[in-house]
Amino acid sequence: MTASSRIKDPSLADRIDPAALEWSRVTMPVTTAYGEAIGRLDLSGSVISCFQHVLSDTAATLLPLVRAGARVRLAACNPDSTDDAAAAHLVASGMEVWAWSGMSADDYRAGLEWVAAETSDAISDMGGELIEATISGGNTVAGALEATTSGLHRLEPLTLTFPVFNWNDAELKNRIHNRHHVGMEVWPMFSALTGLGIHGRSILVIGFGPVGRGVALRALALGAAVTVIEADPVRAFEAQQHGCRVIDRTEALATAGVVVTATGRAGVLGSNDLLSLRPGAIVFNVGHSNREIDIDWLGNQPGTTMRRHIVRYDLDTTHVYLLNRGSLLNLAPGVMAKAEELFDPFSAMMTRGLAWLLDGGAAEFAPGLHPYPEHLEREIARRALAARF
């Protein structure tokens, strides 16, 4: 274990089944192909700083860079999505990692400070916090990748001192992953955690952007009664045309059995909103920010753990059930309801993008926000088309 790493338990690396790693070559063929090509490069002396989810598929995306000689430093961008066995495997394989499931707010901030403390050649960020911290520290890099709506909101007011490439809005990710795959994964995860189906259930989705749209329409397809709250009147009208109810926020909150936040912004569901929910409402988030729901206020209310990832909070005249501490439900650790294949083209976008940055791909770009390179996106899409079986 590298001296600077902080993970839950290094011995958990033994839980990683070599056969499962081999199977990931089948489920993630595009990322695997890029990984094999990158592993043959000489990236000795390169340093890559990453602030992202630490999952079972992270080995496929980042370890090829390690095998090529790069030093890769990774901190968790979310306190509740880390797969602890995966983190231990990454460290055993030569990465420096600061991540464990159930991190406190202080642990989370310390991880960000840790990964931002050293200079690097390229950044992979999810949430914009590492890019912001790098700029604040006066450091610069050849280029950075940003993958989330939350991160783009965070970067808006900043003066960027190096090129940042936005792959959240790349057509490949926005049209497919954001709009379809999150919704495809979240409802099986909901059922795996709660033991509840959604057919006939009253579900409120807050936000009808690409992610919220996919979550809402998937719930409709599974037989739920779906209501949407959306500030943008065009998106609200679109939700209505798809068959969702669009009603007053007060009525929507008071009648929903399940409430989902999907905006990418903090502070979407505050204390007054939570107090207005009907008794027994289930609340969870699928946006990047784990502060879309006011979990700090909830944490000061009487709470009882019902089962893993489910806490009941008693709130004056009502009570609610919070899933996965308000972090992304579709990435709740330790629940076998994920489909690695869905992430394959988008994991490839990160791996391919980092190799492109280290190869001088951003040299002709001025500091500021840029689209993810279209030629890389098209290349990845062609490989993904050819790899389907």
How many CA atoms are closer than 13 Å to the CA of 152, on its beta-carbon side? 15
Alpha helices in 120-232 (DSSP H): 129-136, 149-155, 171-172, 182-194, 210-221
For the chain, give percent helix, strand, coil, nearest 5. Answer: 45, 20, 35
Q: What is the pLDDT of residue 259?
A: 98
Q: Is 368 left (phi over 0), alpha (psi -120 to 50) or beta?
A: left
Are 332 and 188 in contact by the 8 Å Cβ rule? The answer is no
Nearest-angstrom CA–CA distance, 303 and 323: 12
Question: Widest CA span of the chain, in angstroms?
Answer: 63
Q: What is the pLDDT of residue 147?
A: 93
Q: Write out residues in the chain with pLDDT < 50, as ranges.
A: none
Are 89 and 16 in contact by the 8 Å Cβ rule? The answer is yes
Distance between alpha carbon 77 and the CA centroid of its chain, in Å? 8
* DSSP summary character for residue 16: S
Q: Judge if 6-173+340-387 and 202-287+291-326 fold alike in CATH terms.
A: yes
**Stretch (H or E) spanning 27:** helix 18-27
Nearest-angstrom CA–CA distance, 326 and 309: 10
CATH level 2 (architecture), domain 6-173+340-387: 3-Layer(aba) Sandwich (3.40)
φ, ψ of residue 253 to 5 degrees: the values are -70, -35
The encoded tokens of residue 272 equal: 């007054």
Q: What is the pLDDT of residue 58?
A: 93
The encoded tokens of residue 28 equal: 């993630």
Q: What is the pLDDT of residue 6?
A: 97
Nearest-angstrom CA–CA distance, 84 and 90: 10
Q: What is the pLDDT of residue 56?
A: 87
Q: What is the pLDDT of residue 41?
A: 94
Where in the chain are the domains?
6-173+340-387, 202-287+291-326
Q: What is the pLDDT of residue 180?
A: 83
Are 176 and 167 in contact by the 8 Å Cβ rule? The answer is no
Q: Is 153 exposed, middle or buried (0-12, 13-18, 19+ CB in 10 A)?
A: middle
Nearest-angstrom CA–CA distance, 82 and 74: 12
Q: What is the pLDDT of residue 389?
A: 56
Q: Is 310 helix (H, G, I), strand (E, B) or coil?
A: strand
CATH number at 202-287+291-326? 3.40.50.720
Nearest-angstrom CA–CA distance, 108 and 114: 10
φ, ψ of residue 48 to 5 degrees: the values are -120, 130
pTM here? Answer: 0.84
